[in-house]
Structure 1
Amino acid sequence: MNITSFLIYCIIITFTPGPTNIAILSTVHNFGAKKAMEYTYGATIAFGLLLVISTLLNTILMTIIPKILIVMQIIGSFYMFYLAYQIYKMDTSKPTVNQSGTFKSGFLMQFLNPKVVLFTMTVIPSFIMPHYIAMPTVTLSVIAITLIGFLAFITWVLFGTIFKEFLQKHKKAVNVMMALFLAYAAIEIWM
């Protein structure tokens, strides 16, 4: 296995903007780092669970993957448009109530996030299983990939925390930009 290619793939996929990372940034912006961390914990556990599911069901999923991907694209796109709309219509003049940024919302988002689903279904069979089939090695790989994802999520929490004052000052413009990025990500699923 080419460890460099594997790490580059994992880092690029997990650290680049996507629905989860944008949602984390929005949560920091609107509800603070503590709520964003709660969301991040849910997202991380779901991310690891998706890796485990991918590992355990890889051979079965390969036969039905086109059907799963189409369903995930449809559900994920609509959910991302819904999130974009919620971010856009958020009333910036009223104080916000902590309704978002929960462990549950972070957890569920991962199962509806096509970027995460595609990544978790491809990384193990592409990089790990062709070279390693021993359960301890595969398990360590799943743990390592989950930690990389967690580090990516934490980076977005830190980014949001560092720039919180700026983001608060330009709240409506930031919400519009995040909504547009999320809508763009939803559209890109179909390209």
Structure 2
Amino acid sequence: MTTTLFSAFWTYTLITALTPGPNNILALSTVTSHGLRQSSRVLAGMSLGFLIIMLLCAGIAFSLATLDPALIHILSWAGAAYILWLALRIATSPPTDAAVQSRPVSFWASFGLQFVNVKIMLYGITALSTFVLPHTRELVWVVGISVLLAAIGSLGNLCWALAGHLFQRLFRRYGRELNIILALLLVYCAVRIFY
């Protein structure tokens, strides 16, 4: 891998991992409402689901040159619907101490989000088909890069969770406004799936 290709890979993966998406917004919202410790199951569910999706992306990218556009279209609609459901849940969640007493999203809900999160699917397939498969078809490299992609994505989620933790007091004070902004960002993510 050339230096140019290597820097392009890191630029793409880090920007994609750190820009707002369903995982990042859910991590921020959950940690702001419930604290870092209580949100660890949510973050673990996201990370495990992310890893499985990256490995599936590796299998798909490795075995197929392109995906069936109809499948992407169905996944896009399912992903957008789930993201909009998350937006509604965040927008209507209690903003302050009442939220702390409720339970955070479960491990399985955050795990399941990964299977309809089109952003990470496109992230994995794009990174593998652009930066890896044109240069090597060795399964060890394809799987290794998939694990690396999952780690980078999980790091992005953790950064947003830490932001929720660091600014928790401020976010609790302006909780209703933050929930509305986060919900609108999720609506934006759902709309961006199609544009």
Fold agreement, TM-score > 0.5: yes
> Which residues in structure 2 correspond to 1:38-77 (within 5 Å)?
38-58=41-61, 61-77=64-80
Query: Paired residue for 1:14?
Result: 17
Query: Paired residue for 1:159?
Result: 163
Distance 1:157 1:92 in 2: 17
Q: CA deviation at 1:37?
A: 2.4
Q: CA deviation at 1:120?
A: 1.5
Q: CA deviation at 1:8?
A: 0.7
5+ residue gaps, structure 1:
none
Cα pair 2:32 2:171 within 8 Å, conserved = yes
**Are 1:177 and 2:181 an aligned pair?**
yes
SS in 1 for 2:114: helix
Query: Paired residue for 2:90?
Result: 87
Deviations 1:22-64 (A, max 9, x none): 0110101111112332211111111111111111222555454
Distance 1:65 1:118 in 2: 13
Q: Percent identity of the aligned residues?
A: 27
Could you tell me which of 110, 114, 125 is aligned with 2:114?
Answer: 110
Aligned residues, how many? 191
The TM-score with structure 1 as length reference comes to: 0.91
The TM-score with structure 2 as length reference comes to: 0.90
Cα pair 1:55 1:125 within 8 Å, conserved = no
Q: CA deviation at 1:14?
A: 0.8
Could you tell me which of 14, 34, 37 is aligned with 1:34?
Answer: 37
